Structure 1
């Protein structure tokens, strides 16, 4: 049976769902709004389902059928883009668009060098990224908004494939003039009486809590924040110490030398950083190349 709709119409559907208006979707394809509206109506007629609820002045809202079909439509559009990229790369390099995800608290340290290195290897691939929490990134993987995500291997469903890219260790974060800053490593018992600044986002908070529990220490939490730059600033001003999981030598490039990360001594829990994939079999060549780059670049 031959489909009565086109792949171009599926691309219009995805764009309209992502932008929320026919006018914004039309801008993506350099067409007028009336042509976009007509194409979406034709697609609904061909499929025999209503994809959008249209409210004057309020844009488009996906119907339940539209929400169900969107992930598969994204997959089909991405695979056609991959097919075109593959055909073009028979005579040239990888090209096209790749969207990845990254857990927000690790993004400042992890993403910039990865993106720079990948751009040097594959200048014709346009990489965009989504930052968010674990649950948001899992949802984005499953509904096709991103192809892979860099995050902690913590609380992930078994249905998601994962590849280990880093094995970071817990470090305490102290001001440069703190006595601990001069040490090669430190235990947590010696810091037990000092104020602690907790990262409040999951799973970072849970991972830090597990490290303290393994050391038999209860931190005296003075402040909590979801913004690690804010936490770093508080540490720099001597308002307390904090904890970060990082690979050796890997910290945000914009940080200065007024805060120091010192490894925690003893047997402490280590959570792996992984590249999470909805399906390894469905990765585009661009995503596979980015995953290979992550593995080559790991510390």
Structure 2
């Protein structure tokens, strides 16, 4: 904290309380989060390299999956290293600039992933409803534009949210009862939160969470209608299996985010929410490579081909 004008203080750093002050539990959490983080890095990097090196995975669907893994790779890195440090260090502080950077990049990657999941829903709709024109409809140019717009939308909205949040006056303390810099605990420290700021938060929630989720829901209704028109049971199962992984990822990701952020600020229970938020911030980036590979025949085939190629050498 820094004195300003003799009567007021301004925040120069924040204290992240994390999950617990129990040393033994902190050590256990350090090991758990380290394993999750290493698994997340290994899984996402492996999936990206596999998609890049396997020619038969150079399709629109895997182009999106590769970008999803790229986002998850960085998304988990926004939080986990700081969590690991806080678990083994007595110094729980994070600078004002460091907090703002964490806030910005977490929003940018999270919002980009929301838009990317929506683009993937459109891709699955075209693949199932218009299979004969799929290659033409989902051209390389269109896929590139959709991914670029996902990143652009995510970073623009994160810029707006970060600039507005860190323009607030944090003079009511600097202790954040959470493991990362997020809007709900930061709002509790600010004394000049206006209705305009609250409106901005709801606009961001609508643009980045509610609108993409509504978009995804609409296309899954179209997908379901297209599947029901398929005459054979085998054809229906095959069509549904092509979007099962995406549907699983969407349900887990949007479900956890909406649980945290769709409620009024008065109902926040930070002690419980910070445990729930570990799912989409830390655990989910590790699960995505598993969701898109464990039951995926194309990925298994690519792994076998890669292993065979290495054996031949």
Greater length-normalized contact order (CA 8 Å, ≥ 6 residues apart): 2
Bigger helix fraction: 2
Q: TM-score, normalised by structure 2?
A: 0.20
Q: TM-score, normalised by structure 1?
A: 0.21
Bigger strand fraction: 1
Q: Which has the larger radius of gyration?
A: 1
